Structures are given as structure tokens and as C-alpha cells.
Structure 1
């Protein structure tokens, strides 16, 4: 999930998933980066160390041709959902009591 870091933040160590990192500088400017993965450490003196596997500014991202295919939808049982009229393997399983 997302979290923010303010002055006097509790020391912590977190793992970063792919996503957006926004850095607010003391002069009021902000910088936005896409991070593939990494870790972040907040120290007792409110300093922060962010170690990223890969980090690029948003203007460096190429959002050109993207994949248009999608994975087959899955039901909550984990099987692929089938069109109406076709029997799925989940129909032979017992129903959940809740």
C-alpha cells in the first residue's frame, strides 16, 4: 500500500512494489519517479534511504504500444470462467457453507 513520510516519522523498513514515488523537496517542488522494486528505510533522525532496483522519471517512460491482450477471467474458484451452457469443473465441487 501507499504511505507518507513526515518529520519525526517512526523508524521503519519497508519493501517497495512497482509504483509511483513522489518526493517533496524543502523548496516546495515535487519529483515523480516510477520504481520497479526496492526497499525504503526511515531512520530515527528522519532521514530516508530509498534503494530501487530501477527508477526513472515519468517523462522517461515509454507508454507507446501496449499489450492489448488480456488473461482469461478467473472465477473465485481459480478456474477460467466459461460461457453459459458449458459445464465447468467448479460445478462438480461442493458449495461453500458460507
Structure 2
């Protein structure tokens, strides 16, 4: 098991337009990756998580991804695992306030 990530999204205004900011943090609060999206759905969550996982160094493997209970994360991680883009032993913890 490797590091754990805290993943969440929030709604922010960028250049006068409202958009979703997805971000992943390590346990020390350092940003691993972020993604801006006009939508908050499985497709956006999958693009963000895929981008974050792709940027990972081999020795910096995630062991657990903590998210809120948004169903998009569960679907996105299942799809990424099925495609081989997420390590199969990565634990997904969906707990309100844990992320």
C-alpha cells in the first residue's frame, strides 16, 4: 500500500464563468493534480483521476483514494481499473468528511 489521496471538487469562478475545480491532495496537503471542468459527472471525474494517476511516478503509488460520497468517483475508478489505468489494489474510501 502506498500513499493516500484526498480527492474533492468545488465550484469556483474563473474569468467570470462558474466551473468545477477537481483536486487531489496528499496526506500532507500538497496538491497532486487538479482539473477544471464545466461539468460534475463521471466523465469529468474519470478524466481528472486518469490525469492524476498518469502523472504519478512509479515509486509514488497511491494505495487509497478518499472521496466524498459522490457516485461519479466510484464509477470513474471502476472504469479506470477495468482499463488498467488504475492499480487494481487501490482502495476507494467513500466517506463524507474523510477526504
Q: What's the TM-score, normalizing by structure 2?
A: 0.25
- Relative contact order, higher structure (CA 8 A, sep 6+): 2
Higher strand share: 2
Larger Cα-atom Rg: 1
